[in-house]
Amino acid sequence: MSFENLLFEKRDGIAYITFNRPKVLNALNRKTIEELHQVLVDARDDSTVRVLILTGAGEKAFVAGADINELAQQTPAGGKEFSVYGQNTARLLETMGKPSICAINGFALGDGCEMALCCSIRIASKTAKLGQPEVKLGIIPGYGGSQRLARLCGKGVAHELCLTGEMISAEEAQRVGLVNHVYEPAELLPAAETMAKKIIEKAPLAVKYCMEAIERGVEMPLEEGLFLEATLFGLCCATADMREGTKAFLEKRAAHFKGN
């Protein structure tokens, strides 16, 4: 598959998605979101893909925000449609049943921060800067930033980043729980690949159900979340991978999971 604004490669169980508009710091326009939707559907439906890694082309940015030239032309109706379309694509990334690792290699601002928030795990280069600067343009986050940031880092952090529009460093992002780990720039992608390979070694259905328990359960009251967890645990107990995993443990050997 060939795209204008994305690089897409599948290798060794990993789907690599690279935002590729380095001249504009990988800013998101409608075309890029449409292409992203296509590759996410492809990765979701490809049984050989186990983990996604998202990053940005060049050394300066993951995604530095929206394409301002395109944004400036929005009408109220068009702006809402543009927001909803982006939200739907972001939600697909979040709920496709396959874990995603965001390797933030530079600026992750506005839409870029929001795309990172949709990933299962975020790691960042020491040179990364993150933020939601939309108020500086007279708008608010439109791809879920106000909602996911509050859920991930708490209302205080969400209010500070969304109301001031200021950027924070990778180290500060790690401190507030926005990113999991911080690496030297040259170590970022290898670290993402190492983490992806650790996930690929595990039982595919267990990974999928674990993600579902977290993603769905976090929005539920505790009792309902516990019920969901118990139900998914029961489903795992019906799988061949569960029998293989427990047998391999007892036999002191590596498990060979098949995803069934």
Asked about 114 being catalytic, the answer comes back as yes
- Residues 6 or more apart whose Cβ sits within 8 Å of residue 126: 170, 171, 182, 183, 184, 185
Cite the DSSP H helix spans in the chain: 30-45, 68-71, 76-95, 111-118, 145-153, 155-164, 170-175, 188-200, 204-217, 222-236, 240-250
Q: Is the dihedral of CA 198, 18, 174, 134 positive or negative?
A: negative
β-bridge pairing 107-109 and 6-11: unpaired
Asked about 184 being catalytic, the answer comes back as no
- Residues 6 or more apart whose Cβ sits within 8 Å of residue 55: 16, 17, 18, 19, 62, 102, 103, 104, 105, 188, 189, 192
Q: How many CB atoms lie within 10 A of CB 247?
A: 11
Q: Please tell me whether residue 161 adopts helix, strand or coil conformation.
A: helix
- Phi, psi at 10, each rounded to 5°: -120, 125
Q: Say which of 34, 94, 114, 187 is annotated catalytic.
A: 114
Q: What is the CA radius of gyration of the chain?
A: 19
Q: Say which of 35, 134, 193, 229 is annotated catalytic.
A: 134
Q: Is the dihedral of CA 177, 183, 186, 192 positive or negative?
A: negative
Active site residues: 114, 134
